[in-house]
Structure 1
């Protein structure tokens, strides 16, 4: 399967650059899906990467056109950060991403859910080949999670950020923490804060705070209570991902007189939930994705090696299976040819025999055809995996006298 991966991550770009590139990618997405030779596109957007996985049979043309569309959307110099990956490299990259091997915090568990969301969100805009690839990525991630100790300590972006906050201002036990946002990541943050013994308050501009508070046994904050909450908490953790600032310098400065200690603000959103100018407000310690990246721990080399072995084996197995699928047009032509002969014979028998006899003959002929075609179908796939699929096409055309539409 010719797959092309185009994107940037925390490895190449800052948080602001990621935000800009993601906006350009979203703007170009519909036109990219409409390009000649493109059979499907999946958009993978997380807090530290934005990538497009493209099923195309015109690799070089699609790459050029994708760059053109991204440039027209405003990517400009950001395209210099992109290292397009194709075929085996693209497959291996996605499997590593889904397993958390390419995450800012290696082994973080949230990424597999984000890959699953990307697949589900694009379900009607992708090809069977892309669906198989993403399903493989999910199953490989599950295998690595079950068979290695990667991420077994449960560290993720929130864990690293909260560890950093406690390192700077002491334990959060019995201290108030305000959570901005009620999305899927908010649940992981709440679980971490609960383990630390914090008093958790939640606010949502969308009005979902009450429902979230009931399901997670925390306290909801209303619009009217928000200023007082900002003035009294030890930390604010923002992960709403709304694409606009959920917390501004003006909001913090307005309650600064009520504060007697430092306010730690953690921004976990790719789109910057928090105005970066808050870093300049006296008494504020802003921890954003760039800061988290500088403090993310390295994973144990032996564990990484074990996970990499799983990825390598999965890539080889997948590519072999996909090569076998190159024989599908030939196998389909062979089966259609034989089935057409069988259908004609069944019609001939039906014209001169009773319905009972005709049905029995039809069952017998189809059963025999299935048996006879089984081995040639398997051999065709084997030959395609081990050599040139065109040879398989020529063999079917020669033996059966049919034209294979490759």
Structure 2
């Protein structure tokens, strides 16, 4: 198996294009199931966040798989994605996966949220049998490695994510009286809850919160004792009172439209952290409203960023070493699978031979046991030399070549063993 990833990310793809390639839960599940129907694709994981949309697959034909994924994006999402799509295969794809999960490829270096998003992507695929042994191993190893380096190097010791950066931005905007500013958070998912946690930590006293459903408002009230819950249908009514609005929903449609915005009597900052975007672009054209999206935070640096950049260089080296070990595991796993398959084929053919011989010969129980022992021993002897040769291999290309040969010689469903009628035929076909 080889790893292939195709997708778009924040590095060179504008937000209006990124949102065309994003996956909501329903479309993500549909996408995995659609791609699994392709013969060239064995396993699929889709990682879709506000900064990226990436499809990882396990395949025996990387070139064909990458073409399928690129075409999938253009057919199922938008042809506008084509110039922004990147393709990575083999080791390059593995390095990319590790850099994504560790936060080295994030808009905000070393941010924390991507680790949880990678776990979620793995779980969603696993729940519908979208990934097997290969992708599960790759993602789990990247996740385990990330936990280790975050512990070793404290790269995320100071909380840093889009939510925390948005809260810090508000604090910088109002250095003297930020604590008294009224802030409405729309969305009680992970990003919304994180924003509320950071507000509590930074001393914001007047948070408001609303969501289409009230599924976890008790949790929000436990996080910040002053949080005021607003009914979703009343969200426009309280906007004139607000100084800041942060939106972070999973809605496929805009939730704040310019035509529905009330009269604004004081400056209002609207921070849209969602993808697809929550806020209609025209809202930013209303007098007194400053509209910020996730792309506005690309250049914001926190006080720990210089340290993070130095640590990132060290982690990049460790990633290369880690991948060396992982690829070695993959190489030897191929050998282990071939050895297992040869042993299984040997046992299967031996048992079929024993069954056929015992069916044609009149043997006592003791003779049948002896015959079975001899046949199994001879079949075992037959496969032992190739097994020893397989275990001595350490070159991946040689292993792949042998794997193809073994697959050809020992197909998944071998021809049924048939013994000729010994009364009329001196030969027994096996």
Q: What TM-score does the superposition give when structure 2 sets the normalisation length?
A: 0.79
Partner of residue 201, structure 1:
208
How many residue pairs get aligned? The number is 385
User: Retained in 1: the 8 A contact 2:22–2:275?
Assistant: no
How far 1:68 moved relative to its partner? 2.8
- Cα distance in 2 for partners of 1:341, 1:62 equals 35
Partner of residue 331, structure 2:
323
Deviates more, 1:74-83 or 1:344-353: 344-353
Could you tell me which runs of 5 or more consecutive residues in structure 2 were left unpaired when the two chains were aligned. Answer: 413-430
Partner of residue 279, structure 2:
274
- Measured against aligned partners, the alpha-carbon deviations of 1:321-380 in whole angstroms (never above 9, x if no partner) come to 111122244202332255458869999999339xxxx9xx99xx99xx9xx98x996973
1:131 and 2:141 equivalent? no
1:140 and 2:145 equivalent? yes
- Cα distance in 2 for partners of 1:209, 1:146 equals 30
What does residue range 285-324 of structure 1 map to in structure 2 within 5 Å?
A: 285-296=290-301, 298-300=305-307, 301-324=309-332
Deviates more, 1:385-394 or 1:302-311: 385-394
- Cα distance in 2 for partners of 1:224, 1:333 equals 61
How far 1:92 moved relative to its partner? 0.7
How far 1:281 moved relative to its partner? 1.1
Partner of residue 79, structure 1:
82
Counterpart of 2:43 in 1: which secondary structure?
strand
- Measured against aligned partners, the alpha-carbon deviations of 1:251-292 in whole angstroms (never above 9, x if no partner) come to 43x142xx3x31111111111011121111111121211111
Query: What is the Cα-based RMSD across aligned positions, in Å?
Result: 3.4
User: Retained in 1: the 8 A contact 2:108–2:160?
Assistant: yes
- Measured against aligned partners, the alpha-carbon deviations of 1:181-229 in whole angstroms (never above 9, x if no partner) come to 1112222111111112112111012233643434434221124653443
Q: What TM-score does the superposition give when structure 1 sets the normalisation length?
A: 0.83
Q: 1:244 aligns with which of 226, 232, 253?
A: 253
Pair 1:394–1:104, CA change in 2 (3 A): closer
How far 1:94 moved relative to its partner? 0.6
Partner of residue 21, structure 2:
21
Could you tell me which runs of 5 or more consecutive residues in structure 1 were left unpaired when the two chains were aligned. Answer: none
Pair 1:233–1:77, CA change in 2 (3 A): closer
- Cα distance in 2 for partners of 1:317, 1:378 equals 23
Q: 4+ residue runs of structure 1 moved beyond 6 angstroms?
A: 341-350, 375-379, 394-397
Partner of residue 229, structure 1:
238
Which one has more relative contact order, counting CA pairs under 8 Å at least 6 apart? 1
User: Retained in 2: the 8 A contact 1:323–1:384?
Assistant: yes
